Amino acid sequence: MNILVFGPNGSGKGTQGAIVQKKYNMPHIESGAIFRQNIGGGTELGKKAKEYIDRGDLVPDDITIPMILDRLREDDCKNGWLLDGFPRNKIQAETLAKALEEAGIKLDYIIEIVLDREVAKLRITGRRLCVNDNNHPNHIAFEAIKPVEKEGRLVCRVCGGDLNTRPDDQDDEAIDKRHNIYYDDVTGTMAAVNFFKQLDGPKVISVDGTPSISQVSESIMKEFA
C-alpha cells in the first residue's frame, strides 16, 4: 500500500502518519525528518538544507527530489510506504507522479488533513520532538500525547527520551512562510494536493483536522478498504 499524507504544519500530519504507519507496518518517510537527521549528523546534505529550513523556506528541488526518489527505491519500500511532507509544491508533485508511473508503482491513498491556518499556527509552538524516535508524538497542549514529567523536566511519553523543539517551530516568520507555501494553490502544496486529487486511481481521504487525535485517526482508518 502506498500512501501520501498532506496537511499544513501543525495539522497533526506527522502524528496521524505515525498511527497509520504503525497499523500497517510500513516505512514512514518524512522529508522534514530526513533533513533534521542530516542536520543532526552534520552531513553535507544537512549543511545545505539547514539555512532554508531555519528560514521556513523549501529546500531546493534539486536537493529534495532526488533525496526522496532515492529513498523510495530502498528495499524496505518494496511492499509499500507512507510519504509525509513530500511533495510540497507542484513541480515535486508532477515529478513524483512521473517517477511512480515509470516505475509501475500505484498510489493507493491520499490523506488530506484539512485545518484552518490560525488553528494550525497555534498548534505548532507546543509540539516536542523525541530525540530517540520521530514517531513518538509529544505535544504540550494535547492530553493524549502530553510529555511526562521526570525529575522536574518533560520527557517523551513513549520512551522517556529527551525532548527537543524545532527552531523553525519557535520562529513566527518561519511559521508564516511555511503556511504561505502550504496554502498556495497555484504552485505550492495545495497545488500538489489538487494535482494528486484529480488523478484517476488513488482514493482520497480528506478529513477535518480540528477534533482530537483519536477522532481524526478514526475518520482516517475507517476509509481504508
Contact residues for ligand AMP (CB under 6 A)? Answer: 9, 31-32, 35, 52-53, 56-59, 64, 85-86, 88, 92, 168, 178
| 5-15 CB burial, b ≥16 within 10 A, e <16 | bbbbbbbbbbb
Question: Do the strands 148-150 and 203-208 form a parallel or antiparallel pair, or are they unpaired?
Answer: unpaired
Give least dist CB 30 to ligand AMP, A.
6
Residue number of the CB atom closest to ligand AMP:
32
Q: In angstroms, rounded to a whole number, what is the distance separating the alpha carbons of residues 107 and 212? A: 28
CA dist., res. 14 & res. 85, Å (int)? 9
Residue placing its CB nearer to ligand AMP in the complex, 85 or 147: 85
Considering the complex, state which of residue 52 and residue 195 has its C-beta at the smaller distance from ligand AMP.
Answer: 52
Smallest distance from ligand AMP to CB 146, Å? 21
Pairing of strands 127-130, 163-164: antiparallel
Nearer to ligand AMP, 66 or 160 (CB): 66
Q: In what order do the strands lie in the sheet with 127-130?
A: 138-139, 127-130, 163-164
d(CA 201, CA 1): 13
Q: Closest distance between ligand AMP and the C-beta of residue 8, in Å?
A: 9
Closer to ligand AMP by CB, 33 or 224: give it: 33
Number of other CB atoms surrounding residue 186 within 10 Å: 8
Smallest gap from residue 225 Cβ to ligand AMP (A): 27
Q: CB 215 → ligand AMP: shortest distance, Å?
A: 23
Nearer to ligand AMP, 108 or 171 (CB): 171
Distance CA 8, CA 121 (A): 9
220, 203 Cβ separation under 8 angstroms: no
Find the shortest distance in angstroms from Cβ 67 to ligand AMP. Answer: 9
81 versus 86: smaller Cβ distance to ligand AMP: 86
* Count of other CB atoms within 10 angstroms of residue 136: 21
